[in-house]
Amino acid sequence: MRKLIIPVLVILVGVFFSSVYVVEEGSRGVVLRFNKINALSEPGLHFKIPGMDNVRIIDAKIQTTDSSNNQNSQFITLEKKGLIVDYYVQWKITDFSRYYEAIAGGYSVENLLLARLNGRLRAEIGKLEITDIINDSNDDTKSRNSLMVDVKDALNGKVKGAVINDDIPLDDAAALDESKTSMRAFGVEVIDVRIKQINFPPEVSESIYARMSAEREVVAREQRYQGIREAEETRAKANLTATQILSEAERRSRITRGEGDASAAKLYADAFGKDKEFFSFIRSLKAYEQSFSSDDIMVISPDSEFFRYMKLSGTK
């Protein structure tokens, strides 16, 4: 009897552990009974029927999918100009049954989400011009933010504020087009769509750079010409001012020199007027000084009046 107890206990313990499973926080469990969805498990400790039930754990947290690995990232605007757009999408699973059916059927929900996001983003960018896409205004209906909101609503199956039902009539063309973009059929809700970066293709970037360089060159040339013109004007004004100052200084100097010469002449006249003979003697000395200081040759008669004072000096 004791020999039977131990195997029975081992079997019971094995059955217990094989029937218990734990769903961690941020996850959900899909219980499959004979490969068909039987129930969903919230985070916590749960039990299943061994041999009949299988549990698939699915991540319930918000996930982020980036377009960095997407090679088809060039978009055409309304002006038929190319743009390279880098974007990402945040999404979460809201219907775990549908999501499991999608991945069990061989779908890659993440790749499908990127493909539909890319197609919808391509359609929305094709309606806008480059300036509208670059514009970040929240109020303008033609802006990057409004574009991202429209794309998110389309992925969530919303048409003009109304949610598309899964049993949508096929004769509604607009709703049918939105339903092809919607991810609700796969149990996915898009939380946010964001454009991280917008670039031009290399060939467009080169042409834009050349145009910007030409425009900057024109502005620089105008600035240089304006600087040269202002420099010439400043130089002309300075020359005019200098000429005026020199002219005024020359005028004043001549007036002062004339006044000085007049004063000197008056002093000489007053001084020499008292003794005319002395005045004549001084003038003769100055004449001698000016005549004999150079190497010039003069032919003058010895009896000339020019040597009168020299003769008087020799007599004395």
User: Model confidence over 23-81: pLDDT tens digits?
Assistant: 888 888 888 888 788 888 888 888 887 878 788 888 888 988 888 666 557 888 888 88
d(C-alpha 111, C-alpha 128), whole Å: 26
Residue 155: pLDDT over 50: yes
Amino acid symbol at 121: L
pLDDT of residue 170: 36
Q: Which residue has the higher pLDDT, 297 or 83?
A: 83
pLDDT of residue 272: 67
- Paired tokens of 63: 């996930």
Q: pLDDT tens for residues 104-154?
A: 877 788 888 888 888 888 888 888 888 777 766 655 567 778 888 888 888
Q: pLDDT tens for residues 254-299?
A: 999 888 888 887 877 777 666 666 677 777 767 766 666 666 666 6
Burial of 250 (0-12, 13-18, 19+ CB in 10 A): exposed
Residue 252: pLDDT over 80: yes
d(C-alpha 106, C-alpha 103), whole Å: 5
pLDDT of residue 30: 85
Name the band, by pLDDT with cuts 50, 70 and 90, for residue 173.
very low
CA distances to 110, 152, 153, 156, 239 from 161, rounded to whole Å, are: 25, 12, 8, 11, 75
pLDDT of residue 255: 92
Average pLDDT (170-179) is 47
pLDDT of residue 168: 45
